[in-house]
């Protein structure tokens, strides 16, 4: 068995992950976990000398993070040890002997139609502000066309934030109305969108006539690719300006999924569109959609309303 330090193992795994085209977001999360473990160990031991009890102690010490984040730590460490085992650096994947944390069940609350309409109406103008000695005023925003395209893509397709940021101009088929999305595990899928979203994309691309096919679809005002953290910050700010609480890319994904089922879509097609490997998450959306239908029935049923 080769004897290399934990930091050298991280270096080797990084090259492996990049060769496999692991998403930059996932790799950054993994690196954050590895740095935290290294700080916890307070030294740079051989990776083969790190014990399961030390990893358990590290996970137990992370008291300020959610169980979902702890589960992400567990996943990242398991990926590293699985690779190290294959490389002959350790004897087995010790992380598998550690029970993964169970993430908290968080309520999934989609945006309402009125909230979405308020968000879209807020795109053209800034928040009201006052200058010394002058009346309160607003100014126009030059990003309105781009931001409308972003919001409609997320609402109409349910793609993830990092998937949106990874889209290139060539990944958009406007005539046939679909995106080519590279999802988790480098799995490519075709995701449809509607004519209104297509129109928003066309209007945005019209402002960038010199773009090449390999140019990122979404750019910042300076012409740089929009990063995932910038996208999240942007959408949170748009929600705040519109007076809508807790707007973020994943909530737009939830909103798409639940309304897709409410409006007659089926779970198997939704699974393919969202890029889920199993139906587990889709079943959560289905439960919410069913509850909505039951509540609507109680409100609209003639038997209930007429008290027959």
Is residue 303 very low, low, confident or very high in pLDDT (cuts 50, 70, 90)? low
Higher pLDDT, 139 or 77: 77
In tens, the pLDDT along 73-108 reads: 999 999 999 999 999 999 999 999 999 988 776 778
Q: Find out whether 92 and 85 touch, Cβ atoms under 8 Å.
A: yes
- 3-state helix, strand and coil shares in percent for the chain, rounded to the nearest 5: 60, 5, 35
In tens, the pLDDT along 207-265 reads: 988 888 999 999 999 999 999 999 999 999 999 999 999 999 999 999 999 999 988 89
Tell whether the model's pLDDT for residue 120 goes beyond 90: yes
Domains in the chain and their CATH numbers? 6-97 (1.10.150.130), 113-300 (1.10.443.10)
Q: The pTM is what?
A: 0.73
CA distance 184 to 22: 8
Q: How far is CA 36 from CA 41, 42, 74, 158, 289, in A?
A: 9, 10, 12, 32, 40
Tell whether the model's pLDDT for residue 177 goes beyond 70: yes
Tell whether the model's pLDDT for residue 134 goes beyond 70: no
Tell whether the model's pLDDT for residue 128 goes beyond 60: no
- Mean pLDDT, the chain, whole residue set: 89
Task: Order the strands of the 178-182 sheet from edge to edge.
Answer: 172-173, 178-182, 188-192
pLDDT value of position 139: 54
């Amino acid at each position: 068995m080769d004897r290399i330090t934990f930091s050298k193992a991280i270096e080797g795994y990084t090259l492996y992950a990049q060769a496999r085209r692991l998403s930059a977001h996932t790799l950054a999360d993994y690196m954050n976990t590895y740095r935290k473990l290294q700080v916890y160990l307070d030294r740079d031991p051989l990776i083969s000398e790190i014990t399961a009890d030390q990893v358990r102690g590290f996970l137990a010490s992370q008291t300020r993070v959610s169980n979902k984040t702890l589960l992400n730590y567990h996943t990242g460490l398991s990926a590293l040890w699985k690779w190290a085992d294959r490389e002959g650096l350790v004897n087995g994947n010790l992380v598998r002997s550690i029970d993964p944390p169970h993430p908290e069940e968080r309520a999934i609350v989609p945006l309402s139609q009125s909230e979405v309409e308020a968000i879209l109406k807020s795109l053209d103008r800034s928040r009201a502000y006052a200058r010394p000695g002058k009346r309160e005023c607003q100014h126009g925003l030059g990003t309105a066309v781009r931001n409308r395209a972003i919001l409609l893509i997320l609402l109409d397709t349910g793609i993830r934030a990092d998937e949106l940021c990874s889209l290139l101009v060539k990944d958009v088929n406007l005539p046939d109305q679909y995106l080519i999305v590279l999802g988790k595990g480098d799995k490519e899928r075709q995701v449809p969108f509607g004519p209104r979203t297509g129109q928003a994309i066309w209007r945005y691309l019209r402002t960038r006539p010199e773009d090449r096919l390999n140019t990122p679809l979404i750019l910042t005002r300076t012409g740089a690719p929009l990063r995932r953290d910038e996208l999240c910050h942007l959408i949170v700010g748009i929600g705040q300006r519109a007076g809508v609480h807790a707007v973020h890319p994943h909530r737009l994904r939830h909103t798409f999924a639940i309304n897709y089922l409410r409006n007659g879509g089926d779970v198997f097609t939704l699974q393919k569109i969202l890029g889920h490997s199993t139906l587990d998450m889709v079943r959560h959306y289905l439960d919410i959609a069913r509850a909505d239908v039951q509540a609507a029935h109680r409100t609209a049923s003639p038997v209930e309303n007429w008290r027959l």
